[in-house]
Amino acid sequence: MRRVTYSVQQVNLERRKACLQLGALAVLFTVAPTHAANPANSRRIVSVGGALTEIVFVLQANADLVGVDTTSLYPESAQKLPSVGYARSLSIEGVLALAPTQVIATEDAGPPAVLRQLSASGISVNVLAANHRFEGLNERIKRIGELTGRVAQANTMQQTLQQEWVRVRAQVAQRTTKPVRVLFVLAHTPNQVMVAGTDTSAHAMLDYVGAANAINGFSGYKPLTPEAVIAAQPDIILLTDQGLKAAGGMDGILKLPGLEQTAAGRSRRVISMEAMFLLGFGPRLPAAVSALDAAIEKMMRV
């Protein structure tokens, strides 16, 4: 095989070009701008989970948002809202200070004791199932539509997403390159590098683009070991933009145990995508699947 030095910047450029050509990668909805909550409206929502926040914005219920967590980075206007901190380590005082009437959270939210305290204080706490499938996204849209009083908007959103999903799935089915083995590396914390097994959003994304997860035999995330990586022999290494940065870029990633001894490492076949876009399973899911498919297609053709 010819040695390939294919930078992440080149991959990202190709992905942006694919977005323009395919249309499937454009943002599907007009997101309402952030503005102050209506004092006459009794609904005050704290959203814990970037993908849930995206849904709230698409449903144009963001005027009811009084706070979000640190993963709520899209749309950009969500970053202007007060933060309640990291989803897994919420502070009871920080949430209560915003006087919410509702907390909408993912299964990752916690600690559980804080959620119980919020509920005991009279706040409606709604924890939505992760379910890393397109069907799970539809369920979350329906539920958030009910919680925000935007049922009609949720129905419209589901219909639009369904049409786009059918188109993207057809696009993926037309890929001409052979199935590839992809290793997803979670490297947001340098001293705790993990690889994804089954029952993860990373595994589900690989499944949707017709790629094989190079690591199998376990559920969830496990620490990266050189023996497991060398045995997996991935064709491509996939990670988030945040993980790539934390690891010190392309050269830093390839210094992780075992990666240089793989076909992906020797050919520098590394793809990165923004974490919430790739793994969030929010309204941009069809665009994320299409982007990942396009990046894999391009890389395996070089």
| Per-residue pLDDT tens digits for 81-90 | 999 999 999 9
The backbone torsions φ and ψ at residue 276, rounded to the nearest 5 degrees and listed phi first, read -70, -35
Alpha-carbon distance of 140 to 176, in angstroms, equals 33
Q: Is the pLDDT assigned to residue 146 strictly greater than 50?
A: yes
So what's the pLDDT on residue 45?
A: 98
Of 300, 272, 277, 274, the closest CA to residue 289 belongs to 277
List, by residue range, all CATH 3.40.50.1980 domains of the chain: 8-25+178-301, 45-168
Quote the percentage of the chain above a pLDDT of 90: 76
| Secondary structure class of 77 (helix, strand, coil) | helix
- What average pLDDT does range 134-160 have in this prediction? 98
More confident residue, 297 or 1: 297
Alpha-carbon distance of 2 to 267, in angstroms, equals 8
Alpha-carbon distance of 150 to 101, in angstroms, equals 17
Domain spanning 45-168: CATH 1.20.1440.230: no
Provide the mean pLDDT of the chain: 87
The backbone torsions φ and ψ at residue 224, rounded to the nearest 5 degrees and listed phi first, read -70, 130
pLDDT tens track for 220-274: 999 989 999 999 999 999 999 999 999 999 999 999 889 999 999 999 999 999 9
Burial class (CB in 10 A: 0-12, 13-18, 19+), 187: buried
So what's the pLDDT on residue 281?
A: 97
So what's the pLDDT on residue 59?
A: 98
The backbone torsions φ and ψ at residue 117, rounded to the nearest 5 degrees and listed phi first, read -65, -40
Alpha-carbon distance of 278 to 71, in angstroms, equals 13
Strands 65-68 and 270-273 come out as unpaired
Alpha-carbon distance of 20 to 32, in angstroms, equals 23
So what's the pLDDT on residue 38?
A: 47
Least confident of 26-40, 62-76, 98-112, 207-221: 26-40
- What average pLDDT does range 194-204 have in this prediction? 95
Whole-model pTM: value is 0.86
The residue whose two tokens read 């199935």 is 179
End-to-end CA distance of the chain: 10
In CATH, what class is 8-25+178-301?
Answer: alpha beta
C-beta atoms surrounding 149 within 10 Å: 13
Of 18, 63, 1, 2, the closest CA to residue 38 belongs to 63
Q: Is the pLDDT assigned to residue 200 strictly greater than 90?
A: yes
The residue whose two tokens read 């793809």 is 271
CB 137 within 8 A of CB 281: yes
